[in-house]
Amino acid sequence: MGKNDKNKNVTQNEVTEDVKDEVKEEVTNTPKGKFKFKFTGVDIIIIVVIIATAAGVYNFISTNKVISKTKTIRYSFELLENQEGFTDLIKVGDNITDGVRNYNMGKVVEVSAEPYTILVADRIKSHYTEVALDGYERSVVTVEAKVTDEEDSIKVDGVYTIRGGQGIAVKGNGYSGYGFILSVERGDD
């Protein structure tokens, strides 16, 4: 590269820098070398919206703050419309899981077989009578589980909500069934 070429490059660079400075001066409207931060109306609105949103989120989280405690409770459920002998498959000590999402539901501490009944209209005595279905049984299972006790719910392992009357699908060691939660031990509220 010759001396003249070098001088030409320097001149081009200087010219480019000068143009950049001029453009910057025009855009920011500030003297060369000084940066002035200027709030626009939109900046203020955006800041206000962000602060309001943050305050709203904080308020929502703080008012819904749940003080929960962990404890062990027992609850019972029934499995319906099972063939005779099904209940023998359920053993004390079995771990029961939710058949839909595989959540832990607790450990079996008690199990019994009861007649599976349906209501039948007695049109002579004017009464609806529970009649046991031959060949079928109902399994009543009591489970012990570690739960979180919150203001409005009881959750096994903090995730699986249990309430009386709730429909359930469960699975254990080689068996599954459906039914309802019958009762949930209250313990100390």
Partner 1 sequence: MKFFDENGKVLGRFNALDVGVFVVVLVLCLGTVLKFTSVSAGTKKDIGVQTNTTVTYKVELEQVRDYFNQNVQLGDILYDLDSQKPIGEIVDIQVDVSEIYLDLFNGEVEMASYDNRYDVTLTIEGQGVKNDKGYFVDKTYEILVGSTRNFYTKYSIFQAKIVDLIK
Using CB under 8 A, list all residues that contact partner 1.
40-42, 45-46, 49, 119, 121-124, 126-130, 151-154, 163-166, 182-184, 186
Determine which helix (DSSP H) or strand (DSSP E) holds 3, and give its type and residue range.
helix 3-28
> In the complex, what is the shortest distance from the CB of residue 23 to partner 1, in angstroms, rounded to a whole number?
18
Indicate the residue among 5 and 189 with the shorter CB distance to partner 1.
189
Determine which helix (DSSP H) or strand (DSSP E) holds 161, and give its type and residue range.
strand 160-161
Indicate the residue among 141 and 154 with the shorter CB distance to partner 1.
154
Indicate the residue among 88 and 122 with the shorter CB distance to partner 1.
122
With beta carbons less than 8 A apart as the criterion, state whether 106 and 97 touch.
Answer: no
Q: Which residues contact 165 (CB under 8 A, 6 or more apart)?
A: 180, 181
Indicate the residue among 41 and 174 with the shorter CB distance to partner 1.
41
With beta carbons less than 8 A apart as the criterion, state whether 25 and 31 touch.
Answer: yes
**Could you say which DSSP state residue 39 is in?**
-
With beta carbons less than 8 A apart as the criterion, state whether 156 and 68 touch.
Answer: no
> In the complex, what is the shortest distance from the CB of residue 152 to partner 1, in angstroms, rounded to a whole number?
5
Cβ count near 106 (within 10 Å): 25
Q: How far apart are CA 86 and CA 89, in angstroms?
A: 6
Indicate the residue among 58 and 128 with the shorter CB distance to partner 1.
128
> In the complex, what is the shortest distance from the CB of residue 128 to partner 1, in angstroms, rounded to a whole number?
4
Q: Is 46 left (phi over 0), alpha (psi -120 to 50) or beta?
A: alpha
Indicate the residue among 137 and 149 with the shorter CB distance to partner 1.
149
Q: How far apart are CA 189 and CA 72, in angstroms?
A: 13
